[in-house]
Structure 1
Amino acid sequence: MLSKRSSEQVLIDIQLIAIPFAGGSLNSYSQMKQIDGVTIINYELPGRGRRYEDSEYTMEKVKKEIIKQIDFTKPYILFGHSMGAFIAYETCALIEELNLNRPYKVILSAQIPPHCVDDQSYDREMDNASVVAYLRSMGGTPQEVLDSKELIDYYGKILKNDLTLLRKYLHNGWSPKVKSSIEIWNGIHDNMIPFSKVMKWKDVTLSECHIKSFEGGHFFINDLLSDPSGFKKELV
């Protein structure tokens, strides 16, 4: 619902579909539950958390699952970080294809548009050493996780399946454009995501593309989430 306060539009009781990065889960966004007026949709991607054993999943399956969780009579935001940005983008495209109510906002964080991704980016098999190297290069993973074989086995399986999803998605093709406005979040010191390619998101929308840059690297989102009230201001 939208209510008028002074000259500003204040958003109340908005749904938030928060889609994680590769290897992440709904629990990665647990701090979002502290945001007043925002309801986190309780959707867990396959292959993690309570769905850990569900290791066979594709972009097609995931985006169809997500739209079943949304109450289209109420405003909602699609938010995706890193891998989640691709999923949020494709979910938006499917929503438009089905002529459902469009999102209040689409936020694509720490990612470049699919047409800018190197074809070889996800074309590799990963052993545990490769998993550790990948997580270390991305930043944001606690050292105790990197040092634990048990945890690397656990998260490594999730990460490998997520990279398989991305590999198949990029090989099979993506939605060329959406009609909705999109908002792009970018870490100023993110060495994984060249800003010159971040700017290319404007090529995949027929509407407006707004870019916000934040202090931090690929996981700048962790700093934002440490202040739920500040995160809400950026979100809505």
Structure 2
Amino acid sequence: MEEIKLFCLPYAGGSADVYAKWRTYLNSSIKLCPIELPGRSKRAKDPFYKSMGEAVEDIASLVEDETNGTDYAVFGHSMGSIITYELICRLYEKGLKLPIHVFFSGRYPPCIEKQGKNMHLLTDDELIQEAVSLGGIPEKLLKYTRLVENAVSTLRADYTILETYGHNPQIQKFDIDISVLSGTNDELAAVEDMKYWEQYTEKSCTFYTFHGGHFYIHNNAKALVEIINNTLVDTE
């Protein structure tokens, strides 16, 4: 069986490392390719993206270089879901090979407009508390000042590109099977909102829910990857 690459895009404040444990459970025919965004880990010295457009253009070039005509899939969680959608739009515009499957996780589609808190405008303390309440920053890490400072900078940069993007009322349908995943107690991705993702495909749209909140992906890695394995391996 030919190798399938799985590109994974993180949530706001997250890095490629959040997907590292998936390698333990992934089918041997699937190669994990977590995408590192600027300002963190091995790209720590690269400046943060200033806009959604800049992020999508950079990631589209990366995917084009990495795939080179081979089959691939894309998984995005939360902010990563929005980047994933805009990424597919950009790849389509450029006439490039599209993924064989897309996984949208923990974020309602861009056609839905919501009035949020404008997280990127919060004070550092407010931003930290929001991240802790959502489960994005474990409370036990707050004693590490430098670590928290870096986390705040990354969160603010990510929320800036997400919140200035706002929403996109135009629904671009693609000829791609998609999966939509969410946590049962996710305040940011209500089940009724997630259902709107089915409007974005001409093909099948399958829904999955997991016990947990917005960061359900951390405590359900094995079950989540099992879905990915079954979906991608069966696609071939």
- Give matches, 1:113-192, under 5 Å: 113-122=109-118, 124-170=120-166, 173=168, 176-179=171-174, 180-192=176-188
1:210 to 206, 210, 215: 206
Q: Does 1:39 align with 2:31?
A: yes
Partner of 1:50: 42
Q: Does 1:25 align with 2:15?
A: yes
Distance in 2, matches of 1:66 and 1:37, equals 23
Q: Is the partner of 1:212 in helix, strand or coil? A: strand
C-alpha contact (below 8 Å) 1:214/1:220 kept by paired residues? yes
Q: Which moved more, 1:141-150 or 1:81-90?
A: 141-150
C-alpha contact (below 8 Å) 2:11/2:80 kept by paired residues? yes
TM-score, normalised to structure 1, is 0.84
Shift of 1:99: 2.1
Q: Is the partner of 1:31 in helix, strand or coil? A: helix
Shift of 1:98: 1.9
For structure 2, the 5+ residue unaligned runs are none
Cα 1:221–1:177 change in 2 (3 A) is same
- Deviations along 1:24-77, one digit per CA (max 9) or x if unpaired, are 011111113333322223631122222234124322222222222331421111
TM-score, normalised to structure 2, is 0.84
Tell me the amino acid that sits aligned with residue 150 of structure 1: R
The percentage of counterpart residues that share the same residue type is 25
Q: Which moved more, 1:83-92 or 1:206-215?
A: 206-215
C-alpha contact (below 8 Å) 2:4/2:31 kept by paired residues? yes
Cα 1:42–1:209 change in 2 (3 A) is closer
* Aligned structure 1 segments of 4 or more residues deviating by more than 4 angstroms: 226-229
Across the aligned residues of Structure 1 and Structure 2, the Cα RMSD in angstroms comes to 2.3
Shift of 1:113: 0.9
1:59 to 52, 66, 70: 52
C-alpha contact (below 8 Å) 1:32/1:228 kept by paired residues? no
Partner of 1:6: none
Q: Count the aligned residue pairs.
A: 225
Cα 1:174–1:15 change in 2 (3 A) is farther
Distance in 2, matches of 1:46 and 1:57, equals 11
Distance in 2, matches of 1:120 and 1:109, equals 19
For structure 1, the 5+ residue unaligned runs are 4-11
C-alpha contact (below 8 Å) 2:19/2:34 kept by paired residues? no
Distance in 2, matches of 1:165 and 1:235, equals 31
C-alpha contact (below 8 Å) 2:103/2:179 kept by paired residues? yes
Shift of 1:188: 1.2
Shift of 1:228: 8.3
Tell me the amino acid that sits aligned with residue 169 of structure 1: Y
Cα 1:137–1:192 change in 2 (3 A) is farther
Distance in 1, matches of 2:55 and 2:125, equals 28
